[in-house]
């Protein structure tokens, strides 16, 4: 969703990629945090529970909590970086291949 918001801001509002992803991060931060914390709080009884059978459920709870924390870091920090790198890669490809296209002979077929 963060990327969709950034692409929408770039295409319709004419923002630069840096401004678009920054605004998308600001707009999507709260919903991302709310869903992550809801899942995290739901998994805490598994991770911290005690009683009969807790030794079987505790590794699952710890794995869920660790996975949520890792995915949160991945989402909030690396997604904007990858977005900007992909935008720069796209610009590089356009410059590189546009330059090479002008050197190629025309493949246009003249009508009879």
Q: Give the confidence band of 54 by pLDDT, cuts at 50, 70, 90.
A: confident
Query: Which residues are CB-neighbours of 3 under 8 A, at least 6 positions away?
Result: 24, 79, 83
Average pLDDT of every residue of the chain? 87
Calpha distance 87→84 (Å, rounded)? 5
What's the mean pLDDT in 21-39?
A: 93
**pLDDT tens-digit readout, 14-25:** 999 999 999 999
The tens digit of pLDDT for each residue in 55-91 reads 888 999 899 999 999 999 988 899 999 999 999 999 9
């Amino acid at each position: 969703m963060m990327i969709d918001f950034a692409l929408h801001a770039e295409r319709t509002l004419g923002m630069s990629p840096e401004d678009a992803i920054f605004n998308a991060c600001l707009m999507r931060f709260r919903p991302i945090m709310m869903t992550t914390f809801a899942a995290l709080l739901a998994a805490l009884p598994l991770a911290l529970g005690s009683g009969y059978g807790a030794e079987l459920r505790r590794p699952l709870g710890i794995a869920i909590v660790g996975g949520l924390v890792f995915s949160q870091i991945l989402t909030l920090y690396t997604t904007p970086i990858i977005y900007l790198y992909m935008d720069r890669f796209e610009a590089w490809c356009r410059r590189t291949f546009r330059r090479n296209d002008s050197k190629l002979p025309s493949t246009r077929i003249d009508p009879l």
